[in-house]
Structure 1
Amino acid sequence: MITLRNGILTAAAFAALAMASTASAQTIEKTVKVAPGGLYEIVFNPADNDLYVAAVGPRGANQAQIVRLQGQSLAPESSVDVSANPLYGLNLNTRTQVLYGTDTRAGVITAINARTGEVIATIRNGDEEGAHVRQVVVDEANNKVYVSVVGGEAGDAAKPNL
């Protein structure tokens, strides 16, 4: 049952929400170009306020890197050469400080120590044909990652379109 009192409170709540939305609108403060270019995904690390960017470089150039940027200035701090397995998808387990990236073309997941930049592991599904891996999601509570696979062959039960 709507009463006059409920209607006034509802109107006041909508007015407050509208003012809060306008007052807290985000603006772009700074932009930077990240070498080598060809940017795909970015993740934030709350442990050190740094950003990790998947940058594959120009097409055919074989310059792929994970670039670490300082969160406030966006200045490059370091990079990890991943040109052997260019990474497109990216996510971070903030508990273990392991960065996970997907190499869409080769169908592998690469695990990188976010603190040192060392490649810890390269994980493949096991089939001879590389899966078209794309997005990676981290379940920190169970120390697991989930990866989406795009593609497959329509009508072939052995190679489903996932």
Structure 2
Amino acid sequence: MGNSGIRSTRRRATLAVSAALVVGAMVGGVNAPSATARTPAAQTAAASRHAAPTYQVTSAALTSGLYQTAYSQRHDDLWVTAASGTTSQLLRVDPRTLKVEKTITPPVTDAATGAVEAVYGVAVDDRNDTVWTTNTRNNSVAVYSQRTGKHLASFAGVGHAREVLVDEARNRAYATALGDGSVVVYDTRTLKEIRRVHVEGSSPAGLTVDRRTGTVYVTDLSKERLIAVSPKASVEPRFIPVAGGSLLDVSLDRTGRTAYVADLKNGRVSVVDLRTGTTVRTIDTGAGTLSVATDPRTGLLYVGLQTSGTTKVVNPNTGATVAELATGAKTNHVTVTPRGVFAVDKSGPRGSGLPDSIHRITFGR
């Protein structure tokens, strides 16, 4: 079977898995059914059918210094960044087997030491068949070909580049420059920088996009707020206060009207109404709340906790913890995909060279 046949088969399998996830997650989750049976036998059968889902975690060691992941629907691949010491790798991983399919070494930036353009943040652009990375050590953003792994471009002058996202519908990529208070905007077709949104005194960190409106929401690590960046250059940023400490990550609900903000300092997730600009509630999730991702099918949150090395499944409507799953010594990033939920950890001691792990969370019965 040729590559196109393999990809086609994997895409069909992805759809099947996605359908299974919907069924499993809807049971006992935010959208759980509440049907009442009429007889004891029917009640028993209903209880069996509507029992809360169990979660299965499959883990694999990859390499040292794992940082973030991003999923490609086009190729059914998972892209993983890793940086440790003077080394760095961009990995293409099979989301079914967790085996590395391809290892890409970034360009060398220092011939004397062999240091490379280390990759940290990552986003996939399926429309233009590319992968975008932030290269924190040398303050840049890079683009690679998904198909060949070729390094296509690098953009300098992004102070402490932390995260990157792609808005495929508008052919835009956004990167946070934590060190110089800017959000940098790129054209994903021409691979050119087109705009910088600078907010004096800010420390842009995590970001997400409302796919319908194109508005990008950015956590400000130093000012306890979200920065709303319009896709229109003529519109000034809007500021939404979020009481908390170290606001590192943000995710939206399926409507784009509610934001969930990870507060590392206070160990919680803040629920923010974006229309009114108010914090509706806070959910205590635990020390080291570093990453948050929303499952658009169920509304459940997956919260990565670096201190406990776990990922919590949380109902944002009630604040209840649905499950807490072991995902490595120091869970660093969580991604929701049709293949399941993926978490990467930093389990190996710094400088030890020991491999960190990737974990796939799926539903079972």
TM range, smaller chain: 0.7 to 0.9
1:90 aligns with 2:144: no
Cα gap change, 1:21 to 1:105, in 2 (>3 Å)? farther
Aligned length: 138
User: Once the 2 structures are TM-superposed, how far is the Cα of residue 38 of structure 1 from its aligned partner?
Assistant: 0.5
Cα gap change, 1:32 to 1:151, in 2 (>3 Å)? same
**What is the identity, as a one-letter code, of the residue corresponding to 1:53?**
V
Q: Distance in 2 between matches of 1:16 and 1:158?
A: 45
**What is the identity, as a one-letter code, of the residue corresponding to 2:173?**
V
User: Once the 2 structures are TM-superposed, how far is the Cα of residue 26 of structure 1 from its aligned partner?
Assistant: 3.6
3-state secondary structure, aligned to 2:116: coil
Partner of 2:66: 39
Question: As a proportion of its length, which structure holds more strand?
Answer: 2
Partner of 2:163: 135
User: Once the 2 structures are TM-superposed, how far is the Cα of residue 33 of structure 1 from its aligned partner?
Assistant: 0.8
Structure 2: state its 5+ residue gaps: 1-29, 36-46, 107-114, 182-197, 204-365
Q: Distance in 2 between matches of 1:133 and 1:72?
A: 30
CA contact (8 A) 2:161 2:179 kept: no
Q: Distance in 1 between matches of 2:154 and 2:180?
A: 22
Q: Distance in 2 between matches of 1:55 and 1:152?
A: 24
Tell me: higher relative CO, structure 1 or 2? Use CA pairs within 8 A at least 6 residues apart.
2
Which consecutive segments of 4 or more residues in structure 1 shift more than 4 A? 17-22
1:56 aligns with 2:97: no
User: Once the 2 structures are TM-superposed, how far is the Cα of residue 16 of structure 1 from its aligned partner?
Assistant: 1.7
Residues 83-107 of structure 1: CA deviation (Å, up to 9, x unaligned): 5210110001111111000011211
RMSD of equivalent CA atoms: 2.9
User: Once the 2 structures are TM-superposed, how far is the Cα of residue 52 of structure 1 from its aligned partner?
Assistant: 0.8
Which structure 2 residues correspond to residues 70-109 of structure 1 after superposition, within 5 A? 70-82=94-106, 84-109=116-141
Tell me the TM-score normalised to structure 2 length.
0.34
3-state secondary structure, aligned to 1:105: helix
3-state secondary structure, aligned to 1:141: helix
Partner of 2:202: 161
Identity within the alignment, %: 25
3-state secondary structure, aligned to 2:91: strand
Bigger-Rg structure (1/2)? 1
Partner of 1:16: 33
Q: Distance in 2 between matches of 1:14 and 1:48?
A: 30
